Structure formats: C-alpha cells, structure tokens
C-alpha cells in the first residue's frame, strides 16, 4: 500500500512539473506575440506616415490638388478606354462588313428558293370569242344602239373589226373590264341583247364581281394566316386581283411579297405575322380609284393609318418606294421582298413603246462617236454591235470607242442585267481578175 501511494505521489509531482513548464512556455509565447503586435502597429503607423508624405510630395511636385489629380487620372483612364472601345468597334465593324454581303445574299437566296410563284401576265384588252358572225351583228344592234348601251353601262370600249368570230373589250380599269367580259358572255348565252337587258345584266354582274372581290380578299387573308384585318382593307386586297403593274398581277405580287416577308422575318428571328402583314398591304394603294390624289404608297399608308394599322405597317407601306424615311426593319424587308418579286424572270414586262425607245437610245449613243459607220441593237437590247470605218479608226481607237460606249450606256440608261458592246473593225480588199 505504501509503495502504491509513493508511486502515485511521484506521478503527481511529474504532472505538476510538466504543467508548470507549459504555463511558462505559454506565458513567454503570449509575451512575444504582444511585442510583435506592438512592433507591427508601430510599423503600420510609420508606413501610413510615409504614404501620406509621398502623396504630399507628389502633389507638391505636380502642382495639383488631390481632386485635380484624381480628375487627371480618370481622364487618362477614360481616353485609354475610348481608344480600346474604338479599336473594338472598328474590328467588329470590319467583320460585319466582311460578312454582311454574304449573309444578305444567303438570306435572299433562301427566301427566293422557298417561295415559288407562277408568272401572270394580263393586258388592257379582253378578247371575246363569238359563236358566229351573226352574233356580232346582234351585239352591234340596230344603228349601233346595243354597243352604245353596253359601253355606257360598263365604261368599256367595244372594238368590232374585221376579225372573224371575235370582239375586243378595251379599258384600263381592270375591274370594269372584267364586269364587261362576264356580262357580254352572259348576253351571248342568253341571246336577248337589247339596251334594257344589257343594263340588267351589267348590274347583276357588278354585284357578282363585288362578291368575288370580297371572297377573294377574305380567302387571301385566311391562306396567309392574317385574320384580323379591317373589312375595307380586305376588300381592297380582293380588288388587287384585277389590277396589274408592268403585266404582273398585283394580288399575286402582294401574296408573294407577304410570303417572302414571312420567310425573311423567320430567318432574322422577327415577328413573322407582322412582316407578312406589311408585305400583303404594301400595295393596297393601287386598289384605290385613280381619282384619289397621291402616289399609291402614300395613299395606301393613309388608308392603313385611318383604319388603325400598326405604325410599323403604315411606315412599311409609305416608305417602300423611299418617299418617306424608313423607321423600322420591316420597311427594309418590304423593299427587299418587293424587289425580289418584281425582278423574277417573267414577272414583269416592259411596254412596247418603252422597249423601242431603249433600243433606239442604245443605237443613238453608239452612233454619236466619230468614226462609227453603223450600230445595231440585238438580242432584245442585251448587245450592241458597232461597226467603225477601218480607214478612220485604228485598233486602239476602236478599243477606246468600245469602252466609251459602254460607259455612256451605264450613265444614261436603265436596263435589266447587262449590255454587251461589240466594236467591229474590218478592212476588206477586193480585186477582180479579168
């Protein structure tokens, strides 16, 4: 028992000694940390003093106040940022220019490939086939009274010539001409042709055509998915069925532009419905009577505005011939889609008079140069053959004439595609042996 107690006392003494040593170590450590903290605080104060002294020295040397120095620094940073921004802008602008044409061509080609349309050509005359020459006499009537009554009721000229088995209806108002065409066919089938009957049939036909116009407008809007148009606008769209421009049917043209607009807007992540609406309504001014003053673009825009169409639609209609400034991307797309539709091969045709004048102008330009003997416009005006005097014009001069003729054609004429200028200088020596 005594040994055990003695052993425990020895263990307790060792533990006490160990604890005493740890306490001394911790005291020393705390003392060292306290000293280091005081040194750090002292050095911090010294550093703050040095920084302040340095700032004062810099301000004194530069001769600037603190606020002025800050402004100067900010100004320098602003200039540096402006330069960096300018570089970035120039970089991305150049990149956009490099890719814009490629993207535009791709977009237009996609739209053209996805939108197919039939070529429609109409004239200002309608030919009516007659069952016999005896019917021609009945249409004329005694002393021409039937023709006079028909022309008065329809506003369309009836041309009766020596051509067997047919008469011609002539008029620039396509709706009236259609009324006259349907009415004369009804009269021929009925056989009763006299002034009173003519008036009855014409009035009946006018109602039918008006009904067709309304149904055409509604069906067109339905097919394109545009279902909230004002009835007056829908009626104007139906009237476009009987309107033409350069031989192109205006309803088909408007439908085609609307479809192209939907395709272009879809490719650009725009509102396709709004785009199609702009395309369909861009030519509604052409459906209005010629008595209304103003261009068809401005007249159509006025109608759309009066009937509470959106500002984008009104501007797209008004600006598609650049008569007013363009205010939205939809107006730009209308111009593009309108040009695509109009420029399709066979979509439009020139009048004969305009075509002849263009050929004559081509020849006159070539003949205006010294040394030119003759000039011929061939291949529908796509090529000009210029023959020069071989004795008056050398090869070098002939080459210059070719260049100058092509340059003048570019400056003075408007034409589709391109015109080839060919200058021919030929010298022949002929001698007969006797």
Mean pLDDT split into 10-residue runs, the chain, 434 residues: 76 80 82 85 85 72 62 74 76 69 62 49 66 82 86 86 79 82 88 88 91 90 87 89 77 89 87 90 81 80 89 89 86 86 61 71 89 84 88 87 90 78 85 76
pLDDT at res. 351: 54
pLDDT at res. 109: 60
pLDDT at res. 338: 84
Quote the CA–CA distance of 130 and 189 in Å, as a whole number: 10
Instruction: Give the contacts of 375 (CB within 8 A, at least 6 positions apart).
Output: 362, 363, 366, 367, 384, 385, 386, 387
Burial (Cβ within 10 Å: 0-12, 13-18, ≥19) of residue 260: buried
Quote the CA–CA distance of 138 and 158 in Å, as a whole number: 13
pLDDT at res. 122: 46
In terms of residues, how long is the chain?
A: 434
pLDDT single digits (tens) 77-113: 777 777 777 777 777 777 776 666 666 666 666 655 5
pLDDT at res. 118: 46
Is residue 274 within 8 Å of residue 313, measured between CB atoms? yes
Exposure class string for 114-124: b at 16+ Cβ within 10 A, else e = ebebeeeeeee
């Amino acid at each position: 028992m005594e040994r055990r107690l003695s052993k425990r006392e020895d263990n307790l003494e060792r533990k006490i000694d160990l604890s005493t040593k740890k306490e001394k170590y911790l005291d020393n450590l705390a003392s060292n940390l306290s000293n280091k903290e005081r040194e750090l605080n002292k050095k911090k104060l010294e550093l703050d003093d040095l920084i302040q002294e340095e700032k004062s020295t810099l301000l004194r040397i530069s001769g600037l106040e603190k606020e002025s120095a800050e402004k100067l620094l900010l100004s320098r940073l602003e200039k540096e940022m402006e330069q960096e921004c300018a570089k970035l802008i120039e970089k991305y602008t150049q990149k956009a220019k490099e890719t814009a044409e490629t993207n535009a061509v791709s977009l237009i080609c996609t739209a053209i490939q996805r939108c197919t349309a039939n070529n429609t050509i109409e004239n200002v005359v309608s030919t009516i086939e007659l069952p016999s020459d005896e019917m021609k006499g009945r249409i004329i009537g005694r002393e021409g009274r039937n023709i006079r009554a028909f022309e008065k009721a329809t506003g369309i000229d009836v041309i009766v010539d020596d051509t067997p088995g047919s008469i011609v209806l002539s008029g620039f108002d396509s709706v009236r001409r259609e009324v006259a065409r349907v009415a004369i066919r009804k009269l021929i089938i009925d056989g009763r042709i006299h002034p009173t009957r003519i008036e009855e049939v014409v009035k009946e036909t006018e109602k039918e055509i008006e009904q067709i116009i309304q149904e055409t407008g509604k069906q067109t809007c339905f097919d394109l998915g545009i279902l909230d148009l004002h009835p007056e606008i829908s009626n104007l769209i139906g009237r476009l069925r009987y309107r033409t421009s350069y031989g192109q049917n205006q309803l088909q043209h408007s439908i085609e532009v609307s479809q192209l607009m939907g395709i272009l807007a879809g490719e650009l992540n725009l509102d396709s419905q709004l785009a199609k609406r702009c395309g369909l309504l861009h030519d509604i001014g052409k459906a209005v009577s010629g008595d209304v003053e103003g261009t068809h673009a401005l007249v159509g825009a006025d109608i759309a505005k009066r009937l509470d169409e959106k500002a984008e639609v009104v501007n797209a209609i008004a600006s598609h011939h650049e008569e007013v400034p363009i205010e939205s991307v939809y107006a730009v797309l209308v111009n593009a889609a309108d040009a695509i539709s109009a420029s399709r091969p066979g979509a439009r045709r020139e009048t004969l008079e305009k075509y002849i004048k263009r050929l004559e102008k081509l020849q006159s330009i070539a003949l205006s140069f010294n040394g030119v003997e003759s000039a011929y416009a061939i291949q529908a005006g796509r090529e000009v053959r210029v023959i020069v005097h071989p004795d008056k014009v050398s090869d070098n001069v002939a080459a210059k004439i070719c260049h100058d003729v092509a340059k003048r054609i570019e400056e003075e004429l408007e034409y589709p595609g391109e015109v080839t200028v060919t200058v021919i200088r030929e010298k022949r020596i002929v001698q007969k042996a006797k």
